[in-house]
A and B are shown apart, each in its own frame.
Chain A
Amino acid sequence: MDWSLVWKAVLSLAGFGLLLGAILAVASKRFHVEVDPRVEEILDALPGSNCGACGFPGCSGAAEAVARGEAPVSVCRAGGPDVTEAVARIMGVEAETGIPMVAHIHCRGGKSLSPLRAFYQGVNSCRAAQLVGGGKACPFGCLGLQDCADVCPVNAITFDDEGIRRVNVRRCTGCGLCADVCPRDLIEMVPATAKVFVRCKSQYTGKKATSVCKVACIGCRRCEKACPEDAIHVENGFAVIDYRKCTGCGECATICPTDSIQMWVEREGHPEGGEFVVPEKKKPAKEKSGERETASSRGSRTEEEGGVS
């Protein structure tokens, strides 16, 4: 056996290895790319579901944007306050964690309440149906097709038996994607602590509103007068609640003649986290006389549907 052959081979390979290693070592110094170590940390803190609600390409895109300072630490609305705090810790800033938001659908006029005026046959998408007006009598109500449910990354939007959409607040992460796709602008992001909801966005008022949906907001403004906090106002024919002012007392819901204002009651163990109820109605005529006479005599006729929706 010729040992010199072995030595030659070992030496030449070792030499090669050393040379290439040296090149790599130099290259890694010369062409070093600054990577913010925080990107990895932020990425770990984010949920990792790549829902895209932040508007960045996936969670890694959002993490990079936060590390570069191009996005706020609250970039991940889907993650909620916990994630925001974790990201804020990594970035070394104080996070003003707001109240988590949830989606709310401003319509409860299902099949039996707002009848069909036409039979819609076509693409199973609200935005496509909206192009031809949809089949529902109310031109402002929920069309009950696929769009918001399709876009929801956590399957929080379901049907109720009336054929309109509802949100499971247990699941909803408040990402707001559904609010973007609704062609009728019915989905609003509201604070998770909100208790009172106007469940209608009908721009019709009075008789015209009730002619297309039995539970439409008729724009009577009684809620405006009943609200002790000046938090509810009728704009464009329907009541809108300012959740910065609303204390959730429910005065408006007790006075609403069409039950379009309802209270959200959380229930332990309820699959959707709670349900809407109509509080017991006040008899406005007896409670106060004089200035509210006209309003009450107008409003006391529709009391057909009480209780749980």
Chain B
Amino acid sequence: MKSRAPRLSARARRIRGGVHPPEHKHLTADRPIRRIDAPEVVILPMRQHAGAPCTPRVKRGDVVAVGTVVGDTEAFVSAPIHSSVSGTVQNVAPHPHPAGGEVLSVFVENDGEYRIDPEVHPLPWEDMGPEEIRKAVRASGMVGLGGAAFPTHVKLAPPEKYPIDTVILNGAECEPFLTADYRIMLEYAEEVVEGLRIIMKAVGAPRGIVAVEDNKPLALRRMAEVARGRDVEVLSLRTRYPQGAEKVLIANLLGREVPSGGLPMHVGVVVNNVGTARALAHYFRTGMPLVERVVTVTGSVVREPANLMVPLGTPFRAALDACGGFTEPPAKLIMGGPMMGLAQYTMEVPVVKGTSGILALSQKETEFEIPLEPVCIRCGRCVEVCPMNLVPTYLAAMAHKEKMEDLERLNVNDCIECGCCAYVCPTKNPLVQLIKAGKAELARRKVLFERRAQEAANRGSGKEGGDGGQ
């Protein structure tokens, strides 16, 4: 596939299902990315990615520079963590994490000098082989910056039996409020395309696509300008949430269906976020690992919503202060967008690699009541909007009744938790919440039953019969 002339394609098919919530992107769409200073202390959790958590590689009192590895692990599905400031390690202790719970974190006291680690040097990717590129990407700590934070080097290393023919850069940014990817496409278009070409080289894919929703015409035009003359297509998508979910995106652009329980590589595709591509290009140009990211700080109660380039480990409070604080106390603070974001209970949680946005909503916007018991009026709207062709109301009912076999039979694990079902439900059933709980319970029971079976086996071989009250 050699499409020499990149083009604004004919309008792509509309996705199946989905919703179109109010976009609210006007709050920050025209605000250029502004770099903010690192705070006095950055907090670097050892789990900022999907996969195995890192173990700290520094201890209290160690001196680190920008780009020094502070956490790493031997596991394949993981990514190292680097210091975003220079200074001394103040402490290694558990700290609240925006994804919930407390995670062992390295606290680095910022000396304000921003010394750069001597290991950091530019990498000429055009002279490097795919294996070298993958190694370099692993060392950069790169993860998917769209929010799921899946380690990028894993995506770049598909097994031989799944040849990759297409790399898709996801610029859909379908979540309301968020504009980080939009600003990246406008301001760093060159780097985005370069990042795409690095990924294409690493996986040996001949075709590269940048997919952008048609509510971002400026980004589409800018990307098309830059892509001209390079083996890159720019395609426009009809705006619809959850367009940016990779399985939905692949089905829409290429008409290929990722099998149940499968990954995009099973249909010959790798999907990356435009932000990831930009960060990759930046890494190969400068050698600086992933130590900062673009975060949209927005919401109706934020005084000056903005797109910020934030050093990783900056507490939410510092990022919000850089936007002038609040006009009224927020009722809800969310990491990410309003559809799939995670509610926070404290502003002390740090910005991590998966933080695409910080959203503060007012009391009025968050007030709603949910029924204690799911009440389905069988209108079928959730079935219509489910982009994965599931039946959310049955899934939720089975999760509520803990009918685990039925949950599995209805393919609960194919749910991408986009929340469209709960969004449209006229009786305000917490459908996606129930389904999430059901998925977690399914996983928990598997572990529990395995442990039980193990115990029974041990008991059977040890002693027999009544084990009374022990």
Task: Name A residues whose Cβ lies closer than 8 Å to a Cβ of B.
Answer: 55, 72-74, 84, 88, 93, 95-101, 117-118, 121-125, 127-128, 131-133, 135, 139, 180, 183, 191
Return the CB mask of B194-207 against A: 1 if under 8 Å, else 0. 00000000000000
Tell me, yes or no, whether B467 is within 8 Å of chain A by CB.
yes
Which of B100, B434, B441, B452 makes the CB contact (< 8 A) with A132? B100
Q: Are A127 and B468 in contact (CB under 8 A)?
A: no
Chain A residues lying within 8 Å of B464, measured Cβ to Cβ, are 72
Bound form: Cα–Cα A133–B433 in Å: 14
Taking A122-B370, A133-B345, A139-B101 as contacts, is the C-beta distance between A128 and B469 under 8 angstroms?
no
- A98 cross-chain contacts in B, Cβ below 8 A: 467-470
**B345 neighbours in A (Cβ, 8 Å):** 117-118, 133, 135
Docked-complex contact A128 and B466, CB < 8 angstroms: no
Per the bound structure, the CA–CA distance linking A191 and B468 in Å amounts to 11
Asked if residues B467 and A127 are in contact (CB atoms below 8 Å), the reply is no
Q: Is the CB of B468 within 8 A of A97?
A: yes
Contact check, B433 vs A123: say whether CB atoms are below 8 A apart.
yes
Q: Are B448 and A180 in contact (CB under 8 A)?
A: yes
- Mask for B386-428, Cβ within 8 A of A = 1, else 0? 0000000000000010000000000000000000000000000
Known: A72-B466, A95-B466, A98-B470. A128 touches B436 (CB 8 A): yes
Whether B370 lies near A191 (C-beta < 8 A) is no
Residues of chain B within 8 A (CB-CB) of A84 are 466, 468
Q: Which of A100, A117, A125, A139 contacts B469 (CB 8 A)?
A: A100
> Judging by beta carbons under 8 Å apart, are A99 and B441 in contact?
no
Give the contacting residue for B468; candidates A96, A125, A128, A180; CB below 8 A: A96
- The 6 A-B pairs of least Cβ separation, nearest first, read A98-B469, A98-B468, A128-B437, A118-B345, A74-B466, A72-B466
B430 at the interface (CB under 8 A from A): yes
Known contacts A127-B444, A131-B100; 15 additional CB pairs below 8 A are A72-B465, A72-B467, A73-B466, A84-B468, A93-B466, A95-B466, A97-B466, A97-B469, A98-B469, A101-B469, A122-B430, A123-B437, A127-B440, A128-B436, A180-B448
Interface pair B433/A128, CB less than 8 Å apart = yes
Within 8 A of A (CB), among B426-470: 430, 433-434, 436-437, 440-441, 444, 448, 452, 464-470
Please report the C-alpha to C-alpha distance between residue A139 and residue B102 in the assembled complex, in whole angstroms.
9
Residues of chain B whose beta carbon lies under 8 Å from any beta carbon of chain A = 100-102, 342-343, 345-346, 370, 372, 400, 430, 433-434, 436-437, 440-441, 444, 448, 452, 464-470
**Could you give 15 example pairs across A and B, Cβ below 8 Å?**
A73-B465, A84-B468, A93-B465, A93-B466, A97-B468, A98-B470, A123-B430, A123-B434, A128-B437, A131-B440, A132-B100, A133-B101, A133-B345, A139-B102, A183-B444
User: Which chain A positions have C-beta within 8 A of B468?
Assistant: 74, 84, 95-99
Chain B residue with minimal CB distance to A128?
B437
State the CA gap A74–B469 with chains docked (Å).
9
A124 vs B371: C-alpha distance when bound (angstroms): 10
Q: How far is the CA of A95 from the CA of B101 in the complex (A)?
A: 45
Residue contact A131 to B436, C-beta cutoff 8 Å: yes
Complex CA distance for A259 and B298, rounded to whole angstroms: 46
| Complex interface: chain A residues within 8 A of B437 (CB) | 123, 125, 127-128, 131
A84, A117, A133, A191: residue with the most chain B Cβ atoms closer than 10 Å: A133
Measured CB to CB, the nearest residue on chain A to B452 is: A55
A94 to chain B: closest residue by CB: B466
**If the complex has contacts A122-B370, A133-B101, are A74 and B467 also in contact, measured as CB distance less than 8 A?**
yes
- Complex Cα gap A100–B464 (Å): 20
Contacts of A125 on B, CB cut-off 8 Å?
A: 437
Q: Are B441 and A127 in contact (CB under 8 A)?
A: yes
- Distance of B399 from chain A, by nearest CB (Å): 9
Given contacts A128-B434, A128-B437, is CB(A191)–CB(B102) below 8 Å?
no
Question: Which residues of B are found within 8 Å of A99, using beta-carbon distances?
Answer: 468-469
Nearest B residue to A121 via CB reads B370
- Residues of A near B430 (CB, < 8 A) are 122-123
Q: Are B343 and A118 in contact (CB under 8 A)?
A: yes
Q: In the complex, what's the smallest C-beta–C-beta distance from B316 to chain A, in angstroms?
A: 14
A97-B466 Cα distance, complex, nearest whole Å: 8
Contacts A72-B465, A74-B466 given; indicate if A132 touches B342 (C-beta within 8 A): yes
* Cβ contacts under 8 Å, A132 to chain B: 100, 342-343
Complex Cα distance A46/B342, Å?
Answer: 48
Among A95, A97, A127, chain B packs the most CB atoms within 10 A around the CB of A127
Residues of B within 8 A of A127 (CB): 437, 440-441, 444
Query: Chain A residues near B400 (CB, 8 Å)?
Result: 123
Closest-CB distance, B328 to chain A (whole angstroms): 17
Candidate in B342, B346, B470 with the most chain A CB atoms within 10 angstroms: B470
Smallest Cβ-Cβ distance to A150: which chain B residue: B402
- Could you say which residues of chain B place their CB within 8 Å of the CB of A131? 100, 436-437, 440
Bound Cα distance A133, B99 (Å): 9
Q: Which residue of A lies closest to B434 (CB)?
A: A123
Hey, which chain B residues are within 8 Å of A117, CB to CB? 345-346
Q: Is the CB of A122 within 8 A of B469?
A: no
- Chain B residue numbers with a CB within 8 Å of A101 are 469
What's the nearest-Cβ distance from chain A to residue B336, in Å?
13
B127 to chain A, nearest CB (A): 47
Q: How far is the CA of A24 from the CA of B252 in the complex (A)?
A: 65
Closest to A131 in B: B440
Nearest chain B CB to A214 CB, angstrom units: 20
Docked Cα-Cα span, A88 to B467, in Å, equals 12
Rounded to whole Å, the gap between the CB of B108 and the closest CB of chain A is 22
Residues of A within 8 A of B370 (CB): 121-122
CA distance A101 to B469 in the complex (A): 7
Complex formed: what's the CA distance from A100 to B370 in Å?
41
A124 — which chain B residues lie within 8 A by C-beta?
372
> How close is A169's CB to chain B, nearest CB, in angstroms?
15
Query: Within the assembled complex, what's the spacing in Å between the Cα atoms of A135 and B100?
Result: 11
CB-CB under 8 A for A96 and B466, given A118-B345, A124-B372, A133-B101: yes
Minimum distance in angstroms from A138 CB to a CB of chain B: 12
A141: shortest Cβ distance to chain B, in Å? 14
- Nearest chain A CB to B75's CB is how many angstroms away? 24
